[in-house]
Amino acid sequence: MSRIVHLNGDWLPETEAKVSVFDRGFLMADGVYEVTSVLDGKLIDFEGHCRRLDRSLQELGMGNPHSDAEWLALHREVVARNEVVEGMVYLQVTRGNPGDRDFVYPPAETPQTVVLFTQSKPGLADNPVARVGWRVISVPDLRWARRDIKTVQLLYPSMAKMAAKAAGVDDSWFVEDGAVTEGTSNNAYIVKNGRIITRQLGNDVLHGITRASVLRFAREAQMEVEERPFTIAEAQGADEAFITSATAFVMPVIEVDGARVGSGTPGPVSARLREIYIDEMRKAAQ
């Protein structure tokens, strides 16, 4: 089925939505994005994604082309027009088309490019992979130093995903100065003696919206949370490991660089957090 996408105020069949070759998103990766999951035709953790979008735009000196209410209406409309029950909404805002290529930003009044599209993913919540878990390898973190801004410059994460694929595993974890920063498109965690350990927030990781919710639910369930860096060796000696992201929710990790984590099967803490997260998100979905 051909999708209807949103482009700068218009609703168009995907084949008719065109962006200029001079768009700074295309030429300079000068744009930010968000991915919001859809369950039961409703948006998950939407406010968090709106907050982070606003922050990413601000950090890059870009205005926000829409109010939260307008973003919500656009998200709902793209979901409805494409009859998405389970899946996600992708949103991208670029600095627009200055009409030429130049390192200097165009004047602030240059219209930004705004795109929304959907991807249907039946089985997002009841994902059989979550019962098996992911295997990951480690790769050096060679990304730029402002990973807290959700930009569309995703080449190195793509390379790391390809390295994982070539190694026959599911994902890569980035390592910097001997410690894990995060996964290619997710935040990374280990569990040791009932304690959930994940890197603290800073410019070196994306401030995951799923991370914020999952840590809140963990604390509410009286689980201990420690925000600090951890090493690959620690992960290999942990009882459990997992990742979080808007589309994977909570996904157990059962192997790190060829070494089994814990029993080598998804652990109880990851399973519980996944269940709590999905239940709570369904209740709060908009």
Sites of contact with ligand PMP (CB under 6 A): 35, 182, 185-187, 206, 208-211, 244-246
90: which DSSP letter? E
Distance CA 36, CA 201 (A): 21
CB of 129 to ligand PMP, least distance (A): 17
CB of 156 to ligand PMP, least distance (A): 10
Q: What angle do CA 230, 233, 238 make, to 5 degrees?
A: 75
Classify the C-alpha dihedral 137-143-147-151 as positive or negative: negative
Mapped onto helix, strand or coil, the DSSP state of residue 273 is helix
Chain centroid, CA 213 distance in Å: 13
Nearest CB to ligand PMP, comparing residues 82 and 213? 213
CB of 252 to ligand PMP, least distance (A): 16
3-state secondary structure 223-258: CEEEECCCCHHHHHCCCEEEEEECCCEEEEEEEECC
Nearest CB to ligand PMP, comparing residues 25 and 208? 208
Q: Which of 150, 161, 165, 283 is catalytic?
A: 150
Active site residue 165: no
With tokens 């890197």, the residue in question is 199
> How deeply is 187 buried, as exposed, middle or buried, from its count of CB atoms within 10 A (0-12, 13-18, 19+)?
buried
CB of 213 to ligand PMP, least distance (A): 8
Phi-psi region of 231 (alpha: psi -120 to 50; beta: other; left: phi over 0): beta
Nearest CB to ligand PMP, comparing residues 43 and 209? 209
H or E segment to which residue 91 belongs: strand 87-94
Nearest CB to ligand PMP, comparing residues 5 and 243? 243
Distance CA 76, CA 28 (A): 30
Nearest CB to ligand PMP, comparing residues 55 and 192? 55
CB of 155 to ligand PMP, least distance (A): 13
With tokens 């709106």, the residue in question is 50
Mapped onto helix, strand or coil, the DSSP state of residue 77 is helix
Catalytic residue numbers? 150
